[in-house]
Amino acid sequence: MLTERQLQIFKAIIDHFTWTVEPVGSKNLLKESSLPYSSATIRNEMSVLETYGFIEKMHSSSGRVPSEKGYRFYVDYLLHPEALTKQDKETIQSFFSTNYFEIEQLIQNSASMLSELTSYTSILLGPESRSNKLSGFRFVPISETQAMLVLITNQGHVDNHLVSLAKGTTLADVERMVNILNDRLVGLSLDDLSKQIPLEVEALLNQHIDNFELLGQVLQSAFRHASQEKIYFGGKTNILNQPEFHDVNKIRSLFRLMEEEESLHELFRAMPDGLQVKIGQELNNTLLNDLSIVSATYQIAENRVGGIILLGPTRMEYSRMLGLVDVFSRDLTSILTRLYQDKQN
C-alpha cells in the first residue's frame, strides 16, 4: 500500500500526463501542483513509485510517466465513476428523449453520440442475432421490377433488402411467397432459417411461384446478413487527434483491425457484465498496447444483448469516461427495452 504522500504525488503525475502527454520531473510537478512537499521529497517519493513499477522513465528524459501497472492500480483503487456535469446530463437526456423507431438506428446513433461526448472512438456491439427468432416477413413493392424484403425478429431487429424481381414475376407471386414463408418459418431462429429453406420451403415455393430460383438466392442472402453480429462505430478517426499516435503504420494497422468486424467481435465478445476497464496488454492484441477501453454491457428487457466499448489512449480521463459509459449503458438499456416492448404490443 502507498502512503498518503505517495498517493498524492502519484495522482498528481497521472493528472499531469493526462493533460500534457509529457513526462514530468519533481521540480515541474511542484510548480504546477499544490503538493505541500519540497522538490527533494517529491523526487525521493517518485523514486519509490518507480521502484514499485507505478511510474517509469521515458527515453533519456529525467521525467516520469505512469506505467501500465500504475494505471491498473489507479483504476482499481483510486477512482470512481465521476458524476456527470450538467451539460453532459442535458446532452444525454436530449439524445434519449428523441423518438426512435428502429433498434439499429438507436444503437448507431448512440455510438456517434458517445464519441462526440468523449472525443474517443466508440464501438457498440449490436444485439446477438443468431438466436433471435423470426417474427415475420413483408414485401414492399417499389416498382414493377423491385421490392423491399423486410425481415423482422422477436428482438425488434429489422433487416431490409432491396430485391430485383425476375422478369415475369408478379406481385401475386410475391404475395404467395410471403404467405408461405410466414406460415413455415416464423418462430425459427435466424441461424436455422438457411437450413430450413432447402429442407422443405424451397420445394413448396418452387411449386407455387414462377422464377423462384432468383428469389431463393435473395432469401438465402437475407438470412445470412440478418444472422451476422453487427458492430457500430462512432468517431473512428478520433484516434488521429491524440498526440501520442503519430506512427502512420500503426494507425493504418489499427484501422484495418476496425474493418475486420469478426476479429473485433472475437476480441470483445467475452466482456464481463458491468463497468470494466482494460489497459494496454490486457486487451490481448499488440495493436492496442497503447490504448485502454472502458466497457459496459446493455440489455433488452432482462436479456444481455450487446456491449459498449470506449477506446482511447492509456492516459484517458478514466473517471469521466466511466461515468459516461455507465449512464449510457443504463439509459440505452431502458430505451431499448421500451422499444422492444412497443414492438411486441
| Residue scoring higher pLDDT (201 or 72) | 72
pLDDT tens-digit series, residues 314-342: 999 999 999 999 999 999 998 888 877 77
Q: Which residue would you say has higher pLDDT here, 197 or 3?
A: 3
What is the CATH architecture assignment of 4-78?
Orthogonal Bundle (1.10)
The domains of the chain are located at 4-78, 86-128+230-344, 134-227
Q: Dump pLDDT digits (tens) for 220-278.
A: 666 666 656 678 999 999 988 888 887 888 888 888 888 887 778 778 877 788 899 99
Look up residue 210 and give its DSSP letter: T
pLDDT at 154 over 80: no
- The rounded distance, in Å, linking the Cα atoms of 7 and 115 is 31
Q: Which grid coordinates belong to 32? A: 504546477
Q: Grid coordinates standing for 335?
A: 430505451
Domain 86-128+230-344 has CATH 3.60.150.10: no
Give me the residues paired with residue 251 across strands.
none
> Rounded CA gap, 151 and 227, in Å?
11
CATH number for 134-227 (one of 1.10.10.10, 3.10.180.10, 3.30.390.10, 3.40.50.300): it is 3.30.390.10
DSSP state of 293: E
Judged on CB neighbours under 10 Å (0-12, 13-18, 19+), 97 is exposed
Most confident of 97-111, 125-139, 279-293: 279-293
Rg (CA), the chain: 26
Contact 179, 136 (CB under 8 A): no
